[in-house]
Amino acid sequence: LEKVRADHAVKESHSMAYDEMQKKGFQERQDSLTAKLVEREEALAIAERHLASLQEAVRLHNAEKKDKGEVDALKDQVKKMTDEVKSKQEHIVVGAQQVATLRTEVQKLQDTVLVLEEQAKIFQLDFEAERKARESVITEKERILEDLRHLMKRNTDLLKEVNDLRNNPPQENATPSEPGPSPRRQERTPSPPAPRPQDDVIPAPKRYFCPNPECNLMFTTLDPLQLHVITCLNLDD
């Protein structure tokens, strides 16, 4: 029994030693793995910090690049606006020259308008004078026409009296009741023929003369004479 107990104790001691050895091996392996894990965590942390620094560097580079692009765009805009300002200034100079030219032309036109107004006043005065002269001429022409009508009527009456005297000559002792024709008309009218018996008397044709001394054209009726007188004396204006 003691031998069994001794063997059992030896086995237990060996088992405990084996367990201790295994525990120690496991502990060493655990420590080794823990150390490796710590090293890897530290390496990971270093890599993360390096990655963060790289990301920051990339961000800064992109920001600088973006700022540079914005600066270039602003420079382009400034250049474009400068060119536009120069173009506007050139247009302003040209516009000022055109305004000066237009002012000169306006001044010339104003002077021309003043001259034309003076000429218009003179033309108005001439027109008024001509209108008054035409009215006076028309009035005088109407008066002459009226006198001509009276003269033509008087001439017709005298010619009628002459024809009556030719057809019915007065007796030698008879007193004429009407005055004879005017000396001028008597000169133009031939002397009546010798009296003949009443049955054989042939009435002489009536003759009418134009009152224009330069014309003195003869007509046998009054209507052609009136038309001729209007044309001959320029009374149709």
The count of domains in the chain is 1
Quote the pTM value.
0.31
Question: pLDDT: is 21 or 58 the higher one?
Answer: 58
In a domain, 186, yes or no: no
**Cβ partners under 8 Å of residue 159, min gap 6:** 181, 185, 206, 207, 208
By CB atoms closer than 10 A (0-12, 13-18, 19+), residue 229 is buried
**Using CA atoms, how far apart are residues 112 and 119, in angstroms rounded to an integer?**
10
Let me know if residue 164 belongs to a domain: no
* Token pair in block for residue 221: 């009726």
pLDDT of res. 170: 64
Q: Is residue 212 part of a domain?
A: yes
Does residue 214 lie in a domain region?
Answer: yes
Binned at pLDDT 50, 70 and 90, residue 187 comes out as: very low
Is the residue at 224 inside a domain? yes
CB contact at 8 A, 161 and 181: yes
Q: Tell whether the model's pLDDT for residue 197 goes beyond 50.
A: no
223 within a domain of the structure (yes/no): yes
pLDDT (mean) for 210-214: 75
- Residue 151, Cβ neighbours under 10 Å: how many? 13
Per the structure, the complete domain to which residue 226 belongs is given by 207-236
Whether residue 115 has pLDDT greater than 50: yes
The tokens for 147 are: 């006198």
Taking each helix axis from N to C terminus, what angle separates 2-167 and 222-232, rounded to the nearest 10 degrees? 120
The reply to whether 126 falls in a domain is: no
Residue 28 domain-assigned? Answer: no
